[in-house]
Structure 1
Amino acid sequence: MAGLDRRRFLQLSAAGAAGTAISQILGEGIARAAEIPANRATGSIKDVEHVVIFMQENRAFDHYFGTLKGVRGFSDPHPAVLPSGKDAFHQANATREVTPFHPAAPGLGMQFMEDLDHSWKLTHEAFNDGKYDKWLPEKTDATMAFYGRQDIPFHFALADAFTVCDQYHCSVLGPTDPNRYFMFAGGDDPDRKGGGPDLWNDEKGYWWSTYPEELEKAGVSWKVYQDIGEGLDPAHYEGWTGDPYIGNYGDNSLLYFKQYQDAKPGSPLYEKARTGTTAKAGDDLFRVLREDVNAGKLPQVSYVVAPEAYSEHSNWPPNFGAWYAANVLDILTSNPEVWSKTAVLFMYDENDGFFDHIVPPHPNTPQIPGASTVSTAGEWYDGTPTFYGSKDVPGHFGLASGCR
């Protein structure tokens, strides 16, 4: 990706010219990625030899892609119907009704947007046992704001070129960590066998089994690509620092598990999850990733964790994240042999409180007698204190959230 390093990108951002630069320069990697023929040696899933998982922060499907053609966005002909009789796009509070709107701000893709409440409690209250009609009272009018192609051209170009999943739902009606536990460890421990569940980003130290441990047992190579910030131990907030351009924003949730905290240097869990680059000393995550790709050492499973400024969290511009994602894509496509055998999963952990019109799949509410005889074991939090003493309103786990 020639001509747009971080310094130049920030200069263009300050000058208000980043939108053009992103669409013209960052799009080069997408074009190259689409041009490289896929490995079809067997014509099966075995042709995929590398999986790269890049989970970003706090965006909803409609919030980004509601205007994208060919998906279930704002043109959905069969939206859910609210108790009011209107469709789900017509959210209301006691005094007014608000439908999805595009904020009238120049250079919206480079603007900081309001960080909305995305707690377990208020998100379940917005969900309202599936009635789906309390977004405005619990999330404010800003929940209905969305971006368009002109604001986030890289994201739209990526969606145009590759598969976009318009029925993707994050896993918990709540904050970052519980959702990332589903990605890293297959769930949030609803059965309370490993110190969970975590409803509040408690980060206390858990011990249920994680996916990388299972990969290790199966002989599948893996690695977390991250910057260490000031350090990856609890004393240094597991990589979350006061400098948003370094570290991992605390988003490597493996570091909140005891087996990783107790891992010793030289062990697989330590070397693959508790090491990283040191940007404050001039090191570069992209350099390490590029070296691995060029040397044919890209693991079979890779996790990429961005610093705060590039995480797309709503208090950072989405196009900062576009720059970061474009660099990752540029590196992966720099070796056509590797890229032809690689699947990249680009996703978001939760919705930050931004509206999405699709009511997600969810188990029946136990408090409704006769609603179902199907067991909700492992899918429901009953409101009692968790292992570490946290307590919140009852609600469901699983394939459910207001984010797709």
Structure 2
Amino acid sequence: MRRFKKFSVALTLLLLPYPIATNMFLDMAIAEQPDSNVTTQADVTPDVAKYLNNPAKEPKLPNQILTRLLQKRIKYVFVLFNENHSFDNEYGTLPGVNGLYSDGQKPREPAKTPGFTQTYTDVNGLTVKVQPFRLGPEQNSSVVDSVDHSHTGLANKLHVVNGKPQMDQFASDEYNRFASRGGTANIARGKQFAQLVMSHIDCDTIPFFWKWASRFTVFDNIFATEDTPSTPNAIAILAGQAGETQWVKHGANGQSYTVGSHTGTTQGVPIVNDPQPFYGSQFDTTINNRQPAGANESYADNNIATNLTFASLPLTFQGRTIQSVLAGNKNPLFDLPDIQQDISYIQKQRTEPVNWRWYQEGYDLEPTDTNGVASHNAYVSHHNGAQYFGYIANTPEVSKNLRGLNDFFTDVAQDSLPKGGVFYIRGGYNNQQGLKPAITNPNTPADEIAAINAAKSGDDDHPGYTDRQLSEAMAARVINAIASNPKLWQQSAIIITYDESDGFYDHVPPRILSYGPDGLPLSRGVRVPLILISPYARTHAVSHVEGDHNSVIETINTIFGLPPLASLPDEAQALAAGNSPQFNQYGPPGFQQRYLGPRDINSPITDSLLSGFDPKRLLGISPPLPASFAKIPESVVNTLPHYGGKGCQAIGITPEDQRQGIVNPIPAGFNPLPSTYPAANH
């Protein structure tokens, strides 16, 4: 009875004056326990200490109260969706997280860290060992090549034995994918990639990202939804899946097309590679409202995705207007058959529509284009998850929400963003400032600098074509734009996260939830970074809740009162049908396919990001964090290298390996650019 009374009283907190709410909060704290999933980072700096609320001394609010508070405080959710880094690769030495050398509370020995010591057998029959090592400014750590993140390669790296990933084949996969081709050059390249895959960086390379991770809440147990490259996870950030329910309904095969001189079969579902969206491809016969194609992308006839027809957030965003909006779809028999029950269900819920936009560099006219014509040179079309859905791409009232990156900055500057909503922001192959990559090693040969400048000016953080500091600079411009607008900042939650790991080493085994039609692990993939920034976020905190991109969806559902995708009738039916002998056969004996679809309903395997919000700030007991706490001065943003290559010193963080006095074992003759600058391969 006492707990029920506390709960009932707490529901009125939002309506009460500050002193009364404070007293009631303290009273409620007697009954409620702290959130055991949240801990404080080590070594709080003075600029952070004045805003710090120790999570061990704050009660965990009941979900109903937390939901009410969030729905009152947060009106804008911004998802800064970056590319291709594992958690350990970027934050493995951030103090307080489950990283390479510590469990977050105490040091951990290498022998107790899965995959810490990797081995492979070279062409001479010798066993070669590789362990994690730090890349810093001395190695031009802001620019590295991309490692193997193919679906097959990632499955090799996980090395699932008896249902549990061993995380011990990262180096072996990299070495063998080149050395198996034979020849001195391939063997040398394989050796370099086997080392590169085990590298990690810290605040000397990405000081802005580390600063936000230290000042706000970093999540250290979030994984890629799919054990695949980028496209499936770009789809999953919206849908919580990459086509599993469509596979259950229609099988895995694609469709055959002949249009003009082009003949091919689309890649089926679930999507496990990086095919191009059907809409905008050579098989799309749309004339009006046609979607763009990336100018620097591969549109081979065998590299086009099947039109996706399952539910996503842009479907539930329509709310009570869904039937009238989708009445404008140009090909309903092709785009809408698998969501008919969903449409009726969403319409009956009568929820208010949620504004949304997907801003991606190069989608339309950008400042880097000439003569007022959109070149789409910066557009990485296989990263635009929204374009893969026919009911988005082929419904003008919905597709109008797909825009270019500069449109975001213009909309914020002109105060023309919709009033509240969800906004996705993505970079691309270029950077709009025309900046060159940060060369931090003064001894870099001129021809290597030329190769770097020619290949690595992108800003979405994808190894291979981007510079990490150009990428964090783009993120800083986005966050500065939001923080410079009081109306936006005061009502915002900013989520920085990644699609997948690029195949870089991470030591935390993901939970294997499903297998695909190829018999390989499908979900989940390697752990990825996630940071929550908000005036109502916890400061200097680590959340250890488990999840994937469904966690982002679940958070959006909570804030905007949306039905979970997994609860929609078409998806729920497919989820139930997937757990059957027809689909269980693709997993090991006894495995049940319980998760062939979205899983955005709160459960122990997929939690939301709500633990990253501070109860005292939401209740008004502690003041919201000021916008200045998130901003990076423009003079710093635009000066490369950031902080002169001494970012850790500038932001006051000592990485965990340095805290423990660990010597950095950089392999002799290491080359971080085995493909971009093969002349240095030895």
User: TM-score, normalization: structure 1?
Assistant: 0.71
Whether 2:135 is the aligned partner of 1:103: answer: yes
Structure 2 distance, partners of 1:200, 1:230, is: 25
Contact 1:91 1:134 in 2 (8 A): yes
For the structure 1 residues 104 and 327, does the alpha-carbon distance in structure 2 shift closer, same or farther, using more than 3 Å as the test? closer
**Alignment-derived partner of residue 394 in structure 2:** 262
Structure 1 distance, partners of 2:113, 2:219, is: 26
Contact 1:206 1:256 in 2 (8 A): yes
The DSSP-based 3-state class of the residue aligned with 2:134 is coil
The DSSP-based 3-state class of the residue aligned with 1:310 is coil
From 396, 413, 416, the equivalent of 1:290 is: 413
The structural deviation recorded for 1:90 is 1.1
The DSSP-based 3-state class of the residue aligned with 1:303 is strand
The structural deviation recorded for 1:202 is 2.4
Give the letter for the 2:203 counterpart. R
**Alignment-derived partner of residue 373 in structure 1:** none
The structural deviation recorded for 1:226 is 2.8
The structural deviation recorded for 1:242 is 7.1
What are the residue-to-residue correspondences of 1:200-349 with 2, within 5 Å?
A: 200-203=273-276, 204=305, 205-217=307-319, 218=351, 219-229=353-363, 243=377, 246-247=378-379, 250-264=382-396, 267=397, 269-273=398-402, 275-276=403-404, 285-292=408-415, 297-308=418-429, 309-315=458-464, 316-349=466-499
The structural deviation recorded for 1:69 is 0.6
Contact 1:171 1:399 in 2 (8 A): yes
From 478, 495, 517, the equivalent of 1:382 is: 517
Give the letter for the 1:220 counterpart. V
The structural deviation recorded for 1:73 is 0.8
Structure 2 distance, partners of 1:135, 1:81, is: 20
The DSSP-based 3-state class of the residue aligned with 1:96 is strand
Structure 1 distance, partners of 2:114, 2:146, is: 26
The structural deviation recorded for 1:197 is 0.6
Contact 2:274 2:382 in 1 (8 A): no
Structure 2 distance, partners of 1:296, 1:261, is: 21
For the structure 1 residues 133 and 79, does the alpha-carbon distance in structure 2 shift closer, same or farther, using more than 3 Å as the test? farther
The structural deviation recorded for 1:224 is 1.5
Contact 1:248 1:305 in 2 (8 A): no
Give the letter for the 1:175 counterpart. P
Whether 2:526 is the aligned partner of 1:398: answer: no
Structure 2 distance, partners of 1:180, 1:329, is: 21
Contact 1:186 1:211 in 2 (8 A): no
The structural deviation recorded for 1:176 is 0.2
The structural deviation recorded for 1:337 is 3.0
What are the residue-to-residue correspondences of 1:25-104 with 2, within 5 Å?
A: 43-77=69-103, 87-94=114-121, 95-103=127-135
The structural deviation recorded for 1:301 is 0.8
The structural deviation recorded for 1:276 is 3.6
The structural deviation recorded for 1:289 is 3.0
Worse-matched range after superposition: 180-189 or 296-305:
296-305
Structure 1 distance, partners of 2:109, 2:158, is: 13
**Alignment-derived partner of residue 150 in structure 2:** 119
For the structure 1 residues 74 and 81, does the alpha-carbon distance in structure 2 shift closer, same or farther, using more than 3 Å as the test? closer
The DSSP-based 3-state class of the residue aligned with 2:172 is helix
Q: Deviations over 1:262-287 (max 9, x none)?
A: 223xx1x12112x446xxxxx65422
**Alignment-derived partner of residue 11 in structure 1:** none
The DSSP-based 3-state class of the residue aligned with 1:164 is strand
Contact 1:63 1:356 in 2 (8 A): yes
Give the letter for the 1:257 counterpart. F
Contact 2:232 2:274 in 1 (8 A): yes
Contact 1:80 1:359 in 2 (8 A): no
Amino-acid identity (%): 22
Whether 2:271 is the aligned partner of 1:198: answer: yes
Q: Deviations over 1:152-177 (max 9, x none)?
A: 11111111111000111111111001
The DSSP-based 3-state class of the residue aligned with 1:106 is helix
Structure 2 distance, partners of 1:209, 1:342, is: 26
The DSSP-based 3-state class of the residue aligned with 2:496 is strand
Worse-matched range after superposition: 283-292 or 166-175:
283-292
The structural deviation recorded for 1:86 is 7.3
The DSSP-based 3-state class of the residue aligned with 1:64 is helix
Q: Deviations over 1:287-328 (max 9, x none)?
A: 223323xx5635411111212211000121111111100011
The DSSP-based 3-state class of the residue aligned with 1:63 is helix
Structure 1 distance, partners of 2:67, 2:528, is: 36
Structure 1 distance, partners of 2:527, 2:485, is: 37
User: TM-score, normalization: structure 2?
Assistant: 0.44
For the structure 1 residues 296 and 210, does the alpha-carbon distance in structure 2 shift closer, same or farther, using more than 3 Å as the test? closer
The DSSP-based 3-state class of the residue aligned with 2:503 is coil
The DSSP-based 3-state class of the residue aligned with 2:77 is strand
Give the letter for the 1:347 counterpart. T
Worse-matched range after superposition: 96-105 or 128-137:
96-105
Q: Deviations over 1:87-126 (max 9, x none)?
A: 421111122111111236537353x201111000011011
Contact 1:189 1:208 in 2 (8 A): yes
Give the letter for the 1:132 counterpart. M
The structural deviation recorded for 1:398 is 3.2
Structure 2 distance, partners of 1:91, 1:124, is: 16
The structural deviation recorded for 1:348 is 0.6
Contact 2:86 2:526 in 1 (8 A): no
The structural deviation recorded for 1:53 is 0.9
Whether 2:501 is the aligned partner of 1:351: answer: yes
What are the residue-to-residue correspondences of 1:358-377 with 2, within 5 Å?
A: 358-363=508-513
Worse-matched range after superposition: 70-79 or 95-104:
70-79
**Alignment-derived partner of residue 181 in structure 1:** 235
Structure 2 distance, partners of 1:402, 1:53, is: 18
The DSSP-based 3-state class of the residue aligned with 1:93 is strand
Contact 1:58 1:313 in 2 (8 A): yes
Q: Superposition RMSD on alpha carbons, in Å?
A: 3.2
Greater RCO, 1 or 2 (C-alpha within 8 Å, sep 6+): 1
Contact 1:249 1:306 in 2 (8 A): no
Contact 2:500 2:525 in 1 (8 A): no
Aligned length, in residue pairs: 322
Give the letter for the 1:221 counterpart. N
Q: Radius of gyration: which is bigger?
A: 2
Give the letter for the 1:167 counterpart. N
Q: Deviations over 1:366-391 (max 9, x none)?
A: xxxxxxxxxxxxx22131xxxxxxxx
Structure 2 distance, partners of 1:86, 1:211, is: 37
Structure 1 distance, partners of 2:85, 2:391, is: 30
